[in-house]
Amino acid sequence: MKINKISALILSLFLVFVACETEESIDITTPEASFTLLEPAISNINLNYNLPNNEAFTIVWNDQLDSGENYMVELSPDALFENPTVIGSSDSDRFTMTVAEFNNTLLGAGADAFEPFTVFMRVTAGSNITNSVSFSVSSYSEAIPVITSPDNTFEIVLLETTPTDEAITITWEDPDFGENSTVNVNYDIQIAQSGTDFANAVSEGTEEMTYSKTHEEFNESVLNAGLNAEEIGSLDIRVKATIEMNGGNMERYSEPITISVTPYNVELAPVLYVVGAGAVDAGWGWDSPIELPLQGTKYSGNINLINDAFRFFTVAADWDSGLNYPYYEAVGYTIDSNLVNALDGDSNFQFTGTPGEYFIEIDTEAKTITLGPPVVGPNCNYDQLWLVGAGVPNAGWAWDTPVAIACTGNGTYSGNVTFTNDSFRFFNVNGDWDTGSNYPTYINNGYTIDSNFSDAMDGDNNFSFDGTPGTYFLTVDDINKTITLGPEQLQCEYEQLYLVGAGIVGTGWDWATPTVLPCTGAGIYSGEVEFTNDAFRFFTVNGDWGTGTNYPTYENDGYTIDANFSNAMDGDSNFSFDGTPGTYTLTVDTVNLTITLD
């Protein structure tokens, strides 16, 4: 046992001795001091222009070299930092930039707005430099669009006679967007009367960086912007650039330019006058010009023409308001083949057809000038207007029983209509819903509308009748642009009168083909009748000889009778036609008690 204890003691001393020797041979090293930029928590940054003061990024470093108290932060678009940019400094171990600051820095480094752009950062202190870290950053645009053409010296007089010629081209640049930009930028050209700060600007969009308009197009825009026709005016123009984003649209505006523009007048004159030797009833003077009133967008009327020259005028007795043949050609009219350029020095119209009376129509919407047979009786664009809707109970919203008001005078439709408090609409063609004209249509065309009517605001903006239900005399005047209501008027006792007799060409003394004189207004029968020198009689019922009315009957009732008629003294005291045989407009006015020929 003693030997074992002695052995154990010797072994322990040996181990201690060996252990001490091993400890003395270990080489303990301290890590080399470093200057290290820590990897950021994020590497992709999308800068939000709506939050310019928010933190864009923060970088942190560890300086074991005690490099100094002034650290410089460098940024480079390449990993080698061939041309680094110092973007800031710090006296601590971190550096922060706001969204606005970083965005400005990126654009200065060559980034395209809204396109991913890789940048590298590092920190320097004297000769000590950290490692670099990288970010992929999407910046936003700070620069505004810049108009490159035209400039403030631009002036133009817009011409109606060159409607399709180019009037203006506006071009601009958007500096923050490269040629390969995938960002969708919507551009609007805004124009406004100078000095209004674009309060009521006319805006037209384009996806390109150019905008062109013809004389006709630009004239419309300029007038809508508030400039006066035929007067030189100042117009402000700017570019609005919009980028649609989830966080809210980004809008930028260019600096405005100011140009001078003289627009032309597009308002239609209420009457077009015809003067010239070719318009035989007018001649080259202002004593008796032919007047063609405007109905809607059409000038029309009967005119006697001979083979000579004439011209249209928009203002009575004003020779400077003339519109010659080349004018209508230039603005795109199709002109009747019977009318040509007179080539007389003033380029008037020349009538080359068969002399006589014609119905002339100048359609400013379709851009046509046409000649046709003369119109007998009142001259309207349509024979009647149709009323349909619940507000007209005799019609309702169907085409079974529409209510008509006839053309009763030049450009005038009138008739008795029963109204109730509901909506209705006017139509030009029976059975055609597409020919309707609602309340705003008439308002926008300048009509003054009776206070008993209003906009129904029913989705279709029909007329609403707001007055006391009942029957009224409705008048739509397309020349004076009025819609009026009056007391119910007695129309005619009969729907038409019939003329029979040898004095009526094509009729004779039988009932096979009587000539009809329809009721065209309040107590008025009127129509075209071809007379020859013989006798005839009026009748109120077709086929009933007992309903005839002879010459003495009208005389005894106090009628004033046209001098071309007389008592035939044929036993029945019929009418005798004593004038020049031909076609006339015969009117029997039972209100004013007259029988006239035109």
Q: What is the CATH code of the structural domain delimited by 35-138?
A: 2.60.40.10
- Alpha helices per DSSP H over 325-376: 325-330
Q: Which two tokens stand for residue 8?
A: 């154990």
SS3 of residue 13 by DSSP: helix
90 exposure class (CB count in 10 Å sphere: 0-12, 13-18, 19+): middle
pLDDT classification of 379: cutoffs 50, 70, 90: confident
Range with top average pLDDT, 5-9, 98-102, 401-405: 98-102
Give me the mean pLDDT over the 467-482 stretch.
94
> For the chain, what percent of residues have pLDDT higher than 70?
94
Q: Binning pLDDT at 50, 70 and 90, where does residue 14 land?
A: very low
Beta bridge partners of 527: 586
**DSSP label at residue 216:** H
With beta carbons less than 8 A apart as the criterion, state whether 324 and 346 touch. Answer: yes
Q: Give the torsion sign (CA, 373, 374, 376, 382).
A: positive
pTM of the full structure: 0.62
Angstrom distance (rounded) from CA 294 to CA 273: 11
CA dihedral over 354, 359, 360, 363, signed as positive or negative:
negative
pLDDT in tens, 112-127: 888 889 999 999 998 8
Q: What is the pLDDT of residue 22?
A: 44
CA–CA dist 548, 234 (Å, integer): 73
Mean pLDDT of 368-395: 91
Among left, alpha and beta (phi > 0; psi -120 to 50; other), residue 161 is alpha
b/e sequence 361-371, b meaning 16+ C-beta within 10 Å: bbbbeeebbbb
Q: Of 248, 242, 240, give the one whose Cα is nearest residue 186.
A: 242
Is the pLDDT assigned to residue 186 strictly greater than 50? yes
What would the pLDDT profile of 133-163 be if each residue is shown by its tens digit? 999 998 888 889 999 999 999 999 999 999 9
Nearest Cα neighbor of 34 from 60, 58, 59, 66 is 66
Q: What average pLDDT does range 346-357 have in this prediction?
A: 97
Within a 10 A sphere around the Cβ of 220, how many other Cβ atoms?
16
Average pLDDT of the chain is 91
Among all chains, which residue has been given the structure tokens 């004018």? 327
Q: Does 271-372 carry CATH code 3.30.230.10?
A: no
Domain with CATH 2.60.40.3620 in the chain: 271-372, 384-487, 496-597
The residues, ordered by sequence, that sit 6+ positions from 139 with a Cβ below 8 Å of its Cβ are 47, 102, 103, 106, 107, 111, 112, 113, 114, 117
* Residue 560, pLDDT above cutoff 80: yes
Q: Judge whether 541 and 506 are in contact, CB under 8 Å.
A: no
Q: Show the DSSP H helices in 193-352 as ranges.
A: 215-224, 325-330
Detail the DSSP E strand segments found in 336-431: 339-341, 349-351, 356-363, 368-372, 384-388, 403-409, 412-419, 423-427
Residues sharing a CB contact under 8 Å with residue 178, sequence separation 6 or more, in sequence order: 112, 115
Mean pLDDT over 283-312 rounds to 95
CA–CA distance, 207 with 183 (Å, rounded to integer): 11
Confidence of residue 32 (pLDDT cuts 50, 70, 90): confident
CATH code, 384-487: 2.60.40.3620
Mean pLDDT of 344-365: 97
Statement: residue 6 has pLDDT above 80: no
Identify the band that residue 27 occupies on the pLDDT scale cut at 50, 70 and 90.
low
Check whether 9 has a pLDDT greater than 50: no
pLDDT band at 3 (very low <50, low <70, confident <90, very high): very low
Model pLDDT, residue 592? 84
pLDDT in tens, 320-332: 999 999 999 999 9
CB of 274 within 8 A of CB of 310?
Answer: yes
Average the pLDDT over 285-293 and give the result: 95
Q: Which of 416, 412, 389 is nearest to 404 (CA)?
A: 416
Tell me what pLDDT residue 232 has.
96
Query: How far is CA 528 from each of CA 340, 387, 504, 505, 516, rounded to the nearest angstrom?
Result: 31, 27, 11, 12, 9
Please give the Cα distance from 379 to 410 (Å, whole number): 5
pLDDT of residue 370 exceeding 70: yes
What are the CB-based long-range contacts (under 8 Å, 24+) for 589-596? Answer: 589/523, 589/524, 590/492, 590/493, 590/523, 590/524, 590/525, 591/522, 591/523, 591/524, 593/557, 593/558, 593/559, 593/560, 594/559, 594/560, 594/561, 595/554, 595/559, 595/560, 595/561, 595/562, 595/565, 596/562
Flag whether pLDDT at 29 surpasses 80: no
Is the pLDDT assigned to residue 386 strictly greater than 90?
yes
With b meaning 16 or more CB within 10 Å and e meaning fewer, what string describes 155-194?
Answer: ebebbbeebeeebbebebebebbeeeeebebebbbbbbbb
The candidate with the shortest Cα–Cα distance to 565, out of 596, 528, 598, 526, is 596
Residues of the chain with CATH 2.60.40.10: 35-138, 146-262
- CATH number assigned to the domain with residue range 496-597, chosen from the 4 options 1.10.10.10, 3.40.50.20, 2.40.50.140, 2.60.40.3620: 2.60.40.3620
What number does CATH give the domain 146-262? 2.60.40.10
- The pLDDT value recorded for residue 178 is 61
Q: How much is the pLDDT for 30?
A: 63
Taking residues 492-497, report their average pLDDT: 84
How far is it, in rounded angstroms, from Cα 481 to Cα 461? 19
What pLDDT is attached to residue 415?
84
- The residue-averaged pLDDT of 539-554 equals 95
Question: Which pLDDT score is estimated for 296?
Answer: 86
Q: How far apart are CA 570 and CA 582, in angstroms?
A: 23
Query: Quick one: pLDDT at residue 324?
Result: 98
Distances (CA, A) of 538 to 519, 532, 569: 14, 16, 16
Helices (H), 280-414: 325-330
Average pLDDT for residues 32-51, to the nearest whole number? 88
Mean of the pLDDT values across residues 254-279?
96
